[in-house]
Structure 1
Amino acid sequence: MEYNFQNKEEFIKLVQSEVLTSSEVLDILGITRQSLNSLVKRGKITPIKELSRDKLFLREDVIRRKEESKELHSKYRPYDE
């Protein structure tokens, strides 16, 4: 995927809409911080940047993980539905 920006504002808009903090990921996936750390450690989701107290993720990776987890949930826990 290649991005081309005409100006700084376009880049800022993209980052604001497509880059998520750990807290935002927790809300989207409906998981705990420990679960997120486990997903990262097992390579199921990869942060694009790790800061001292937070991690940044791409929205498309988080949405993909959410879809995968729905599929796994319905496959291995069909009685929950």
Structure 2
Amino acid sequence: MEIHVDKDACVGCGLCVKDCPMHVYELQDNVSVAVRPNNCMGCLSCHEICPAQALEHRGIYAARRHYIDIKVCEMLRKVV
């Protein structure tokens, strides 16, 4: 999977940073950057919350979208 952030579309709201349970994103110069793309579980919660639709996850298809509860993410962090 590859995460692409459209820097021209990103409005720097930071919703993806706050919403991502795996801390994949950071704001740099008011633009979201996937600084830890290997942490991405593919839940696509960031994609769903982005008001500018600036995030693209290449290699994941709409039929496979799923949301993983934060408690599950915390459990995974302990294992990983």
TM-score calculated relative to the size of structure 2: 0.32
Q: Which has the higher contact order (CA 8 A, sep 6+)?
A: 2
Structure showing the higher strand proportion among its residues: 2
TM-score calculated relative to the size of structure 1: 0.32
Structure showing the higher helix proportion among its residues: 1
